[in-house]
Amino acid sequence: MAVILIENATVATVDAGDTVLAGADVVVGDDGRIAAVGRHDFTDFSRRIDGSGCLLTPGLVNTHHHLYQWATRGLALDETLFGWLTTLYPVWGRLDAEIVGAAAAAGLGWLALSGCTTSMDHHYVFPRDGGDVLGAEIEAARTIGLRFHPTRGSMDLSRKDGGLPPDHLVEETDEALAATEAAIDRWHDPSPDAMLQIAVAPCSPFSVTTRLMEEAAALARRKGVRLHTHLAETDDEEQFCREQFGCSPVEYAERVGWLGDDVWLAHGVHLDDAAIAKLGATGTGVAHCPSSNARLGAGMARVRELLDHRVPVGLGVDGAASQEVSHLGAELRQALYTARMRGGPTAMNAREALRLGTMGGARCLGRQDDIGSIEVGKLADLVLWRLDGPGHDGIDDRLAALVFGPPAPIGLALVGGAPVVEDGRLVNADEEALTRAARGAHRRLVP
């Protein structure tokens, strides 16, 4: 049975040929999957949506975020990564489940309004008396209606042992591993239409011991889940790895078992030719966060070279404390601009930018068989962008209008065929209530 017909839209399918169809229809079935693209024989619909003047794309996939940081935006504005972290660690030490839940709900709601239908989150701060902070953000995702891939992060290398975090913010290694396994057992859904999947995510080389890195990798593979961490983000990290381990960040990742097609790495800014070739050969993914990289002055990732070496590359907005805009739709343009600043006007085009934000992200999360493109049988995670207003009028190429133009309003966003945004408003949550709760969380952390 057909449930929804979106008709007469320009459809950017992001299939293997990057097909774009003009004046096309897409049919969503009652199983929450795409039943037809282009021509179809369905005649009975519970809902018909006129897509004239609109662009229909797969829902955007956010591959790197820290949702709790929504409560600490606008701080340490002129610091490098290490200075920014040391400023904010003491603030984050006061997190609890109520604060994280409010921050996550606001952040996920904002992501939905920016065209995101699937988001991960990298949560690695677990104060002793903070309560169930991971559960709080999972509940927030259920409320908003997004497909969610939270990762159980961890830190066990404190300042007294040569790491960056303060002593009170780290966990014991065995404690972190046990909590990570418990999170997988409690929440991970391996099914193809899963709304919730867990990954294993020790924080970074400068906040995690080698033992935790190695045993976390073994745990993830025993449980059949994916691996995520920060890597090669800044020059400071490169120096730390060479001083502590005698090698580059990617060489260290290989040494501890952290390269493979079940791994995706956040940032990947400082990669030489050998590192890029190694990522490509092993199928290791990269979450590209161009706005965060720019905000912290970390540098410009070599995305053109990564793509040329067949590295899976997705987009991430990163935490809202290091990228206050947090608009995934706008990150398409930022990724394209960053690539062109490095390699000139042919370094990336609009179709490649959209692929980063859709199928590239799906590959990083291991969901490429079910999301990331508009093809029959895939989950109906779709966004209908309104491009008929003054901000986009006159740009005849609808895909170019989305990527090169200002952030486009959303007429409809579906997750598994269920509306989460309609006419630029959240369907499942009150935006004013989300804002009030997030404001209260901010005031508790930053009086």
Please tell me whether the overall predicted TM-score, pTM, comes out greater than 0.95 for this model.
yes
In this model, does residue 1 exceed pLDDT 90? no
User: How many whole angstroms separate alpha carbon 203 and alpha carbon 64?
Assistant: 12
pLDDT score at 39: 86
Mean pLDDT of the chain: 97
Q: How confident is the model at residue 183 (pLDDT cuts 50, 70, 90)?
A: very high
**Which three-class secondary structure string do you get for the chain?**
CEEEEEEEEEEECCCCCCCEEEEEEEEEECCCEEEEECCCCCCCCCEEEECCCEEEEECEEECCCCHHHHHHCCCCCCCCHHHHHHHHHHHHCCCCHHHHHHHHHHHHHHHHHCCEEEEEEEECCCCCCCCCHHHHHHHHHHHHCCEEEEEEEECCCCHHHCCCCCHHHCCCHHHHHHHHHHHHHHHCCCCCCCCECCEEEECCCCCCCHHHHHHHHHHHHHHCCCEEEEECCCHHHHHHHHHHHCCCHHHHHHHCCCCCCCEEEEECCCCCHHHHHHHHHHCCEEEECHHHHHHCCCCCCCHHHHHHCCCCEEECCCCCCCCCCCCHHHHHHHHHHHHHHHHCCCCCCHHHHHHHHHHHHHHHCCCCCCCCCCCCCCECCEEEEECCCCCCCCCCCHHHHHHHCCCCCEEEEEECCEEEEECCEECCCCHHHHHHHHHHHHHHHCC
Q: 39 or 319: whose pLDDT is higher?
A: 319
Q: Which domains does the chain have, with CATH numbers?
A: 2-58+378-426 (2.30.40.10), 60-364 (3.20.20.140)
Q: How confident is the model at residue 111 (pLDDT cuts 50, 70, 90)?
A: very high
| Segment 150-165, tens digit of pLDDT | 999 999 999 999 999 9
pLDDT score at 447: 83
